[in-house]
Amino acid sequence: MSHIVVIGAGQAGAALVAKLRSSGFAGDITLIGEESAPPYQRPPLSKGYLLGEMTRERLFLRPESYYAENGIALRLGQTVTAIDTRQRTVILGDDVIAYDQLALTTGSTPRRLPAAIGGDLPGVHVVRTLADVDAMAPGVTAGRRVLIVGGGYIGLEAAAVCAKNGMQVTLVEMAERILQRVACPQTSAYFRDLHAAHGVDIREGVGLTRLTGEARVSGAVLSDGSELALDMVIVGVGIVPATGLAEAAGLDLDNGIETDAHGRTSDPHIWAAGDAASFPHKSGRIRLESVQNAIDQAECVAANMMGAGEDYRPEPWFWSDQYDTKLQIAGLNTGYNEIVTRKTGDTLSFWYFAGESFLAVDAINDPRGYMVGKRLLSMGKSPVKAAVADPATDLKALLKA
């Protein structure tokens, strides 16, 4: 009987094994994860869970009993140390598991500050796992001083939670503006103003020179020469694909584990999906870091492991919750050269165009704008810019234009 082994028990791994079973795969399935918890949602970690509004069990994607009930061997708290592609086995310490097909859903790891500038001091945290947030939570209390390093979505979401908890928050971003890598200046300006209204001190074009402290972090020296007294630091400076196992196994890499359009790696018996996988897209390759991609790509790979032969064609969407503001993003804005702004009442959206071609939308408290933009992208249609900007336009009419 065929045995499929999946390494990485995050969103992609959980989606992949569930899709295999729901599609009628009758062979053995083993899902291996380094953490002791069953697969869980990551986005609420830095929001509802950190705020104490969501219990640990509510994070779980499925009850732990689901896996046993569906014949999925769940190996938690175990680390794969090597893959033997010739023997088709994975090694977990003294244990060896044979596979017929293997899927790598190893995800990504957060970038950390170098130890040479104090990055390993107690009180310096990243936001990626349950253990990370459990370690951080006791320090997120009113009156304490926190430095957020990095003005991307992770950093801004952490700043919002800390500010809501009454902390004194300073956020530094080395680039000229927050969200510079992922959003237009208009979106950056909106969130800069939102955080300022909640008392967050955002310093753009300012980096971290070093952290200070002995038993734990107690301060920071910034690149502009200013110094801060601190109680804790949260680092949100991006993530990197977890490719160590793939590289050691001799698989091809290209900004992640390189796959073809079906999700197959350079080894015909090994597949990859989620944050760690890079795949063909238009004239190049991309790697997407999102819940949507983790689920959709993993389900496509599961189907292809069963012989479907389907190309993965992503329809990217993302979101971010900060204070009472919801940002919903559809599409990829790479290559844009014009922003069309639409404001109606309390809703606001920024529409990205390259010439006349519609690429993406940032919708702020604007679910209708998001849904119409997402639908237009899936239809391959580009709306007339003047119609988008006109608040009198019924957005749904754009779908029929």
Q: Which two tokens stand for residue 13?
A: 């791994």
CB atoms within 10 A of CB 335: 11
| 140 neighbors 50 (Cβ within 8 angstroms) | yes
The confidence score (pLDDT) of residue 51 equals: 86
| 180 Cα distance to chain centroid | 17
Number of domains in the chain: 3
Structure-token match 């071609």, residue found: 357
Q: How far apart are CA 394 and CA 306, in angstroms?
A: 44
One-letter amino acid for residue 140 of the chain: V
Beta bridge partners of 354: 357
Question: Both 34 and 17 in a single domain?
Answer: yes
Q: Which two tokens stand for residue 386?
A: 């003047």
Q: How far apart are CA 105 and CA 124, in angstroms?
A: 27
Question: Both 27 and 56 in a single domain?
Answer: yes
| 88 Cα distance to chain centroid | 30
Question: Both 186 and 265 in a single domain?
Answer: no
| 173 neighbors 148 (Cβ within 8 angstroms) | no
120 found inside a domain: yes
Taking only the tens of pLDDT, the chain with its 401 residues reads 699 999 999 999 999 999 999 999 999 999 999 999 999 999 999 888 988 889 999 999 999 999 999 999 999 999 999 999 999 999 998 999 999 999 999 999 999 999 999 999 999 999 999 999 999 999 999 999 999 999 999 999 999 999 999 999 999 999 999 999 999 999 999 999 999 999 999 999 999 999 999 999 999 999 999 999 999 999 999 999 999 999 999 999 999 999 999 999 999 999 999 999 999 998 899 999 999 999 999 999 999 999 999 999 999 999 999 999 999 999 999 999 999 999 998 999 999 999 999 999 999 999 999 999 999 999 999 999 999 999 999 999 999 87
19 found inside a domain: yes
Taking only Cα atoms into account, the Rg of the chain, rounded to an integer number of angstroms, comes to 22
| 148 neighbors 201 (Cβ within 8 angstroms) | no
Question: Both 42 and 8 in a single domain?
Answer: yes
Domain ranges, residue 41: 3-109+239-305
Question: Both 132 and 229 in a single domain?
Answer: yes
Q: Give the H/E segment covering residue 234.
A: strand 232-235
The confidence score (pLDDT) of residue 139 equals: 95
Question: Both 127 and 43 in a single domain?
Answer: no
Coil, helix or strand at residue 32: strand
Question: Both 105 and 136 in a single domain?
Answer: no
Q: How far apart are CA 219 and CA 233, in angstroms?
A: 9
CA atoms in the 13 A half-sphere facing the CB of 10: 28
Alpha helices in 223-311 (DSSP H): 244-248, 291-305
Q: How far apart are CA 401 and CA 392, in angstroms?
A: 15
The confidence score (pLDDT) of residue 52 equals: 87
Quickly list DSSP for 363-382. Answer: EES-HHHHHHHHHHHHHT--
Q: Which two tokens stand for residue 40?
A: 């869980």
The values of phi and psi at residue 357, to 5°, are -85, 125
Question: Both 371 and 290 in a single domain?
Answer: no
Q: How far apart are CA 145 and CA 126, in angstroms?
A: 16
315 found inside a domain: no
Q: How far apart are CA 317 and CA 361, in angstroms?
A: 10
312 found inside a domain: no
Burial class of residue 380 in the structure, from the number of CB atoms within 10 Å of its CB (0-12 exposed, 13-18 middle, 19+ buried):
exposed
CATH of the domain at 123: 3.50.50.60
| 101 neighbors 269 (Cβ within 8 angstroms) | yes
| 391 neighbors 366 (Cβ within 8 angstroms) | no
348 found inside a domain: yes
Question: Both 118 and 195 in a single domain?
Answer: yes
| 263 neighbors 271 (Cβ within 8 angstroms) | yes
